[in-house]
Structures are given as structure tokens and as C-alpha cells.
């Protein structure tokens, strides 16, 4: 994936904003180093390292990327201002704290020589022997085989290119050449893309803090459906050639490459097309572009080998990363405009929209064991709705509330993104002839929501929709779609019942509980034509077991929402 701003035409990333305040860059990395120097006010004595993180006392107002080294090897990177938390009064001169990322914490037990280095200039800002955790032994950030690991731009622990030998990288280079050739034979015009192209143009090799390789191509088609059909045809061609393929979306897939030491590495293939003067390239670019900047293709050198590139690779790099693409940023954070995200998601991501949300990441673990008995929430709703005929449980999980509703004489429908969670309940409902159905639905994908809502809106009324702790577990798009679904199902004949953990704007809450702005949530309901007719707070005695500590957990609230006819 790319290392910097992917769609700068609709928004400027933090790196680009920094570069706007600096002299223009005409040269290579050395030219970039000349314009980035550690602030003269930086005092190494003001650095405090603890189990919590790295505390910087009054580091100055300028933002720049810093590498963290353990015993001389880069482990992580962060921006002095963007990636730190202000401590104290919150002014520009205040202390800031860089918290240790979660994936790294399990390794932080022992002693190491910790260094802070300005990533661009290479200047050392701080170095000291530090002790973390129990202090026993040397800290070793390694995998089970003893291979060195580091945090990539997405804060994932990976085997980065900087720790790989030429021997280990040779299979990846071979695979790049083989896949490029296969794509060419299948009718595409492929080239190096994103971080791989960036490394080749900027330094003639792989970027040290990167961990995968990227290829791209631009279809001759200008319609998203035709472009997607072509992508699947290319995948079938590579599969027949013996490659293992994992598909991301309708216009992107990954080729799995196995290296000489048994390690696996992904080779991403991103498709694109030009429509009405705009280049759309998965991963994600949506920028004004000319076809003559693509063809005829040029060549670039990567780790001593020659590969195809766009006719003017600098134009594509600027579309991907903005005008500051020459300046390295090992801690880049994607800021793809929402308009570009939604367009590409609507065209190509389909059922995978929202797959990496917080809620879905939790479900990488084994399927949960069913919990006996219904929740207090569904009992409360059923008591308030004695004439209820149809109930829809969004985010039904293991389906226990759906079974309870069906046993009480209600036609109950459970919706969830993970069918494995409700399979047991679905089997039980079939054996007992209960009026209960379970269906897959992606709350963050509009087509899925509209199709499901249209079907459920035809069921007998009165109808209600239930959503227990769903609004905290999805994003803004998911919340909007939840209210859209509920409006379709209940308008004129029922209500939406929400249970949620609440924090007001500015509250910090617990690290395990997402922040939820009730004012914005209420405004979202109003924008959909709804009204919160009841807002009920539960005190400590009424809250479910495990949530009674009001100091550690935000208050649980229940909302009742109706829609105007």
C-alpha cells in the first residue's frame, strides 16, 4: 500500500502541509534531508522513557517524523505533533507523549539502548540505555523464528525491507517480473506502483520501512463494471499460471509470494481507469490525470533490476502522494477524502466495505460461544411492545435475543456481518420450528442495507428494530445506514430501540470503549427525519453485569426513536 497521501486533489495530507512551508525539492533524498533538521531548541535531557511511552518536554511547535531505534535498529516512527498526546495545558509548547503502540507492548520487557533519530536528516536527537517492564534481559522485537520485526506505516509488526538481505528479496523481485509478464500477456499494461514505484524513483530500491510490493495498471475501459470484469479475468489468468491469489475488491487483488526462508509476502495488483479526465486507481487515487502521462511506458530500476513504469512516473507519484512525495515519511497516515472512498467503495468493494472496522477486527478470533438466555435489553423492549408482530435485531451476534423474540410469538429477524456467529441459533430455530430467520448484512455497504430494508419493510406490523451496542461499534457511515434501515422498516408502524455506551463530546472514556458523541448522533437522527422520543439512562444498579463501575465505563443509555410520516 502507498506510504503517503493517496488522493491529494480533494485534501492535503500532513506531509504535504509540511512541505508547503519548506523550500521546493528538486533533488533526491539528499535534497530532502537538507530541508529537514532537528529544531535547535530540542533538548535530549527532556526525554523521559517509561512503560507508558516516550514523553517529550516542550519539544517545540514544528512537526517532523522521528524514528525510534532499539539497539541501533528502527522499531517504530512517529510525528512529533501529529502522533503524540498533549500533556498539561495543551499549548504548542506543552509536553507531549508518544504512547507505545499496542502491537509493540508485548515486547517491552527488558533493557535496550533507545535512540530517537530525525528520519529525514538522520540527526540523532536522543540516546540512552532504558529499562522497561521487569528489566530482565535485552528487549528483542522478533518473531518466533528470531527474525527482526518493526512497525510499518499502518502500525503493524512486519518483516520490513530494511531487515531483508538480497538473497531474501530475490524471490520477490523474481515474482514482480513474473507477475508483470503474466499481466502483460493477459492484455494489461502493468507498472510499478505506490511504495514500490516511489522507492525505485527516489532511491533505486525498496523503501526500508515498507513491507510489501505494489503493481498497478490502467484499463483501456472507462466504465467501472468493465474494469472490474477485466480484473477478474486477469486473476483467473494468474491462477492458471500457478499463483495463489487473495482478492481485496472488484479492482484489486494480492499475489502471495513465498520467499527462500519460507516467509510469505504479498504482491498487490491495483487496477485503475481514467474517466472524464480523472484517474481512479485502487488504493486509493482519484485525481485529474492525462493518458499521455501513462503511455508509452518508461523504465525504472529497482534493486538492480529494470521494470516498467508510467511514461511520467513523477505525475503518478504526485497523484498518489501529493507534491511532497520526495520527502520520506515512515509514519504516514492515510487521509483519503471521503468522497473518493465512497465512490471506490460503491464501485468495487461491495461486501468488503468496512471489513477492517474495530468491530470486525475483533472477529478474527474463533467464533464466540453462545450465551444462554436473552439480554435485559430485549426483555425491556418486549415488555414495552405487547402487540409487536415483527422484530429486526441488527448486530444479532449469537442470535439469543432473536430466539427469545420468536419464542414469545414474534416474527424475528437477525442481521449480522458474521454468519458464523448465528449459525447455532439458526439451527436451533429450524429444529424447534420457530419463526426466526438469520441473514447476512453489511451495515457499512449501502446496497446491502437498501436491499435488506426493502424486504423487511413488507413484513407485518407493528415492527421494531433493535440495535444493542451497534452504534459504538461502527463508523459514521454505518450509523447513517442503521438509521436509514430502521426508517425503512419502522416508518409509520414502529420504533427503533438503541442501547449504547455514552460519552459526551470531549470525554476520554476507556481505552476499550469507543468515543460516542451523543450530540452528533442525535443530529444524525434528525437529519434522517427521526426524533429521539425517549432518552433513558441506566444507573449502576440497572446496568448489565460487568458494566456497573461507572468510573471505568461510560453510562449505558437507551434511546427510542420514531420517524415522521
Residues 349 and 270 sit within 8 Å (Cβ to Cβ): no
Percent of the chain with pLDDT over 70: 77
pLDDT at 108: 94
Please determine, for residue 258, whether its predicted confidence score (pLDDT) is greater than 80.
no
pLDDT at 332: 59
First CA to last CA distance, the chain: 47
pLDDT at 298: 96
pLDDT at 550: 39
Q: Give the pLDDT band (50/70/90) at residue 540.
A: very low
pLDDT at 507: 36
Q: Name the residue with higher pLDDT: 426 or 203.
A: 426
Do you know the residue count of the chain?
A: 565
Q: Give the pLDDT band (50/70/90) at residue 325.
A: confident
pLDDT at 9: 33
DSSP state of 109: -
pLDDT at 290: 94
CATH topology of domain 359-563: Rossmann fold (3.40.50)
**Looking at residues 255-264, what average pLDDT do you find?**
68
How many Å apart are CA 348 and CA 340, to the nearest integer? 12
> What is the domain partition of the chain in residue ranges?
31-158, 161-351, 359-563
pLDDT at 13: 35
Q: Give the pLDDT band (50/70/90) at residue 473.
A: confident
* 65: Cβ contacts below 8 Å, ≥ 6 apart: 77, 78, 79, 80, 118, 119, 120, 328, 329, 330, 331
pLDDT at 59: 78
Range scoring the smallest mean pLDDT among 18-32, 301-315, 439-453 = 18-32
**Looking at residues 94-121, what average pLDDT do you find?**
90
Q: Give the pLDDT band (50/70/90) at residue 333.
A: low
Residues 78 and 55 sit within 8 Å (Cβ to Cβ): no
Please determine, for residue 217, whether its predicted confidence score (pLDDT) is greater than 80.
yes
Cβ-in-10-Å burial (0-12, 13-18, 19+) of 551 comes to: exposed
Please determine, for residue 206, whether its predicted confidence score (pLDDT) is greater than 70.
yes
pLDDT at 384: 95
**Looking at residues 543-553, what average pLDDT do you find?**
44
Residues 554 and 513 sit within 8 Å (Cβ to Cβ): yes
Mean predicted lDDT score pLDDT of the chain: 80
**Looking at residues 292-315, what average pLDDT do you find?**
94
Picking from 214, 186, 180, 199, the residue whose alpha carbon sits closest to that of residue 297 is: 180
CB atoms closer than 10 angstroms to residue 299: 12
Q: Give the pLDDT band (50/70/90) at residue 373.
A: confident
Residues 39 and 49 sit within 8 Å (Cβ to Cβ): no
**Looking at residues 250-273, what average pLDDT do you find?**
81
**Coil, helix or strand for 240?**
helix
Range scoring the smallest mean pLDDT among 140-149, 193-202, 502-511 = 502-511
Q: Name the residue with higher pLDDT: 160 or 386.
A: 386
Residues 486 and 471 sit within 8 Å (Cβ to Cβ): no
Please determine, for residue 310, whether its predicted confidence score (pLDDT) is greater than 90.
yes
Question: 161-351 belongs to which CATH class?
Answer: alpha beta
Question: Per mean pLDDT, which of 60-74, 138-152, 178-192 is the most reliable?
Answer: 178-192
Amino acid at each position: 500500500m502507498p506510504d503517503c497521501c493517496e488522493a491529494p486533489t480533494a485534501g492535503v495530507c500532513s506531509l504535504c502541509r509540511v512541505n508547503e512551508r519548506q523550500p521546493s525539492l528538486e533533488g533526491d533524498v539528499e535534497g530532502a534531508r537538507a530541508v529537514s533538521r532537528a529544531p535547535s531548541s530540542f533538548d535530549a535531557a527532556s526525554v523521559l522513557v517509561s512503560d507508558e511511552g516516550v514523553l517529550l518536554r516542550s519539544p517545540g511547535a514544528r512537526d517532523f517524523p522521528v524514528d525510534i531505534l532499539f539497539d541501533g535498529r528502527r522499531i517504530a516512527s512517529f510525528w512529533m505533533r501529529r502522533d503524540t498526546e498533549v500533556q498539561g495545558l495543551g499549548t504548542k509548547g506543552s509536553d507531549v507523549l508518544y504512547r507505545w503502540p499496542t502491537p509493540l507492548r508485548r515486547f517491552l520487557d527488558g533493557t535496550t539502548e533507545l535512540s530517537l533519530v530525525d528520519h529525514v536528516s538522520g540527526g540523532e536527537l536522543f540516546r540512552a540505555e532504558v529499562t522497561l517492564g521487569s528489566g530482565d534481559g535485552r528487549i528483542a522485537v522478533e518473531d518466533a523464528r528470531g527474525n527482526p520485526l518493526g512497525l510499518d506505516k499502518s502500525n503493524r509488526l512486519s518483516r520490513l525491507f530494511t531487515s531483508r538481505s538480497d538473497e531474501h528479496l530475490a524471490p520477490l523481485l523474481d515474482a514482480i517480473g513474473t507477475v508483470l509478464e503474466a499481466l502483460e500477456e493477459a492484455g494489461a499494461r502493468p507498472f510499478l506502483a505506490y511504495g514500490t514505484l516511489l522507492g525505485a524513483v527516489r532511491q533505486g530500491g525498496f523503501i526500508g520501512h515498507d513491507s510489501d510490493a505494489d503493481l498497478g495498471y490502467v484499463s483501456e475501459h472507462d466504465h467501472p463494471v468493465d474494469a472490474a470484469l477485466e480484473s477478474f479475468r486477469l486473476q483467473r489468468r494468474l491462477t492458471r499460471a500457478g499463483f495463489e491469489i487473495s482478492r481485496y475488491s472488484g479492482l484489486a487483488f494480492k499475489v502471495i509470494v513465498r520467499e527462500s526462508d519460507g516467509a510469505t509476502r504479498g504482491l498487490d495488483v491495483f487496477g485503475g481507469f481514467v474517466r472524464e479526465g480523472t484517474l481512479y486507481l485502487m488504493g486509493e487515487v482519484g485525481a485529474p490525470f492525462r493518458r499521455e502521462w501513462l503511455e508509452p511506458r518508461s523504465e525504472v530500476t529497482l534493486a538492480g533490476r529494470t521494470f516498467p513504469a508510467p511514461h511520467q512516473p513523477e505525475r503518478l507519484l504526485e497523484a498518489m502522494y501529493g507534491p511532497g512525495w520526495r520527502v520520506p515519511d515512515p509514519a504516514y497516515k492515510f487521509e483519503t477524502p471521503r468522497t473518493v472512498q465512497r465512490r471506490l467503495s460503491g464501485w468495487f468493494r461491495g461486501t468488503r466495505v468496512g471489513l477492517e472496522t474495530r468491530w470486525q477486527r475483533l472477529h478474527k478470533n474463533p467464533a464466540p460461544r453462545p450465551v444462554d438466555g436473552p439480554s435485559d435489553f430485549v426483555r425491556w423492549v418486549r415488555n414495552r411492545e405487547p402487540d409487536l408482530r415483527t422484530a429486526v435485531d441488527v448486530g444479532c451476534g449469537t442470535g439469543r435475543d432473536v430466539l427469545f423474540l420468536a419464542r414469545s410469538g414474534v416474527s424475528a429477524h437477525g442481521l449480522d456481518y458474521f454468519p458464523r456467529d448465528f449459525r447455532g441459533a439458526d439451527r436451533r430455530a429450524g429444529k424447534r420450528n420457530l419463526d426466526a430467520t438469520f441473514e447476512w448484512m453489511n451495515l457499512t455497504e449501502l446496497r446491502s442495507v437498501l436491499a435488506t430494508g426493502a424486504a423487511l419493510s413488507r413484513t407485518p406490523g407493528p415492527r421494531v428494530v433493535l440495535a444493542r451496542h451497534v452504534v459504538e461499534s461502527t463508523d459514521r457511515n454505518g450509523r447513517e445506514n442503521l438509521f436509514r434501515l430502521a426508517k425503512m422498516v419502522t416508518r409509520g408502524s414502529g420504533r427503533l430501540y438503541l442501547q449504547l455506551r455514552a460519552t459526551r463530546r470531549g470525554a476520554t472514556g476507556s481505552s476499550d470503549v469507543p468515543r460516542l458523541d451523543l450530540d452528533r448522533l442525535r443530529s444524525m437522527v434528525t437529519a434522517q427525519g427521526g426524533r429521539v422520543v425517549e432518552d433513558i439512562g441506566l444507573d449502576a444498579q440497572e446496568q448489565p453485569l460487568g458494566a456497573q463501575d461507572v468510573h471505568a465505563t461510560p453510562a449505558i443509555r437507551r434511546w427510542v426513536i420514531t420517524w415522521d410520516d
